[in-house]
Amino acid sequence: MKDYEEFDAVGLADLVRKGEVSAEELLDEAVDRMAARNPALNAVVLDFTDVARRRIASGLPEGPLTGVPFLLKDLGAEAVDFPSHNGSQLLRNTVYDRNSSLYARLEASGLSTFGRTAAPEGGIGAATEAAVYGGPTRNPWNLDHTPGGSSGGAGAAVAAGIVPAAHGSDGGGSVRIPASSCGLFGFKPTRARLPDGPYAGEGWAGMAIDGFLTRSVRDTAVLLDICRGSDLGAPYAAPPMEMSFTEALDAPARPLRVALCTTTLTGDAIDPQVTETVAQTGRLLADMGHHVTEDRPKADTLGMMRAWTKIVACGTALWIDKARGTTGVPPTADEVEGVGRGAWAYAQGISGADYLDAVGKIHSYGREMAAFFESYDILVTATLAEPPAKIGRFDHRSEDYVGYRTGPEGIFAYSPFTAAFNATGQPAVSVPLGQSADGLPIGVHLAAPFGADAMLMSLSADLERAAPWAHRRPPRPS
CA distances from 33 to 108, 112, 216, 285, 335 (A): 25, 15, 20, 37, 33
Instruction: Report residue 477's pLDDT band, with 50, 70 and 90 as the boundaries.
Output: low
Q: Tell me: the pLDDT tens digits for 89-124?
A: 999 999 999 999 999 999 999 999 999 999 999 999
Check pLDDT > 60 for residue 335.
yes
Q: If DSSP codes are grouped into helix, strand and coil, which group holds residue 254?
A: coil
How far apart are the C-alpha atoms of 404 and 125, rounded to whole Å? 9
How far apart are the C-alpha atoms of 392 and 390, rounded to whole Å? 6
Q: Which residue has the higher pLDDT, 477 or 299?
A: 299
**Average pLDDT of the segment spanning 121-142:** 97
Q: Identify the pLDDT of residue 476.
A: 80
Q: Which of 84, 109, 112, 150 is catalytic?
A: 150
Check pLDDT > 70 for residue 443.
yes
Beta-strand relationship, 378-382 and 291-294:
unpaired
Q: Identify the pLDDT of residue 128.
A: 98
Name residues whose C-beta falls within 8 Å of residue 98's C-beta, 6 or more positions apart in sequence: 78, 80, 198
Q: Among positive and negative, which fits the CA dihedral 376, 377, 382, 383?
A: positive
Check pLDDT > 70 for residue 310.
yes
Q: Identify the pLDDT of residue 309.
A: 98
Instruction: Report residue 84's pLDDT band, with 50, 70 and 90 as the boundaries.
Output: very high
Instruction: Report residue 404's pLDDT band, with 50, 70 and 90 as the boundaries.
Output: very high
CB 84 within 8 A of CB 176: no
Query: Domain 8-299+366-466 belongs to what topology?
Result: Amidase signature (AS) enzymes (3.90.1300)
Check pLDDT > 60 for residue 478.
no
How far apart are the C-alpha atoms of 43 and 19, rounded to whole Å? 31
Beta-strand relationship, 257-260 and 378-382:
parallel
User: If phi over 0 gives left and psi between -120 and 50 gives alpha, with beta otherwise, what is residue 127?
Assistant: beta
CB 182 within 8 A of CB 138: no
Check pLDDT > 90 for residue 256.
yes
How far apart are the C-alpha atoms of 474 and 451, rounded to whole Å? 34
* Amino acid (1-letter code) at residue 449: P
**Average pLDDT of the segment spanning 247-264:** 98
How far apart are the C-alpha atoms of 94 and 332, rounded to whole Å? 19
Q: Identify the pLDDT of residue 1.
A: 87
Give the chain's mean pLDDT. Answer: 98
CB 441 within 8 A of CB 434: yes
Q: Tell me: the pLDDT tens digits for 267-291?
A: 999 999 999 999 999 999 999 999 9
Check pLDDT > 70 for residue 65.
yes
Q: Tell me: the pLDDT tens digits for 153-203?
A: 999 999 999 999 999 999 999 999 999 999 999 999 999 999 999 999 999
E-state strands within 198-349: 209-214, 257-260, 291-294
| 73 catalytically annotated | yes
CA distances from 37 to 42, 137, 358 (A): 9, 12, 43
DSSP assignment of 246-265 equals: HHHTTSPPPP-EEEE--S-T
CA distances from 99 to 31, 32, 79, 102, 105 (A): 24, 28, 4, 8, 10
Q: Looking at the whole model, is its pTM more than 0.95? A: yes
| 322 catalytically annotated | no
Q: Identify the pLDDT of residue 203.
A: 95
How far apart are the C-alpha atoms of 199 and 94, rounded to whole Å? 13
Name residues whose C-beta falls within 8 Å of residue 336's C-beta, 6 or more positions apart in sequence: 88, 89, 90, 121, 320, 344
CB 253 within 8 A of CB 243: no
* Residues present in the chain in total: 478
Q: What are the boundaries of each domain within the chain?
A: 8-299+366-466
Check pLDDT > 90 for residue 45.
yes
Q: If DSSP codes are grouped into helix, strand and coil, which group holds residue 16?
A: helix
CA 274 to chain centre: 20
Q: Which of 84, 100, 174, 460 is catalytic?
A: 174
Q: Identify the pLDDT of residue 240.
A: 98
CB 210 within 8 A of CB 77: yes
DSSP secondary structure letter of residue 386 = S
CA 114 to chain centre: 19
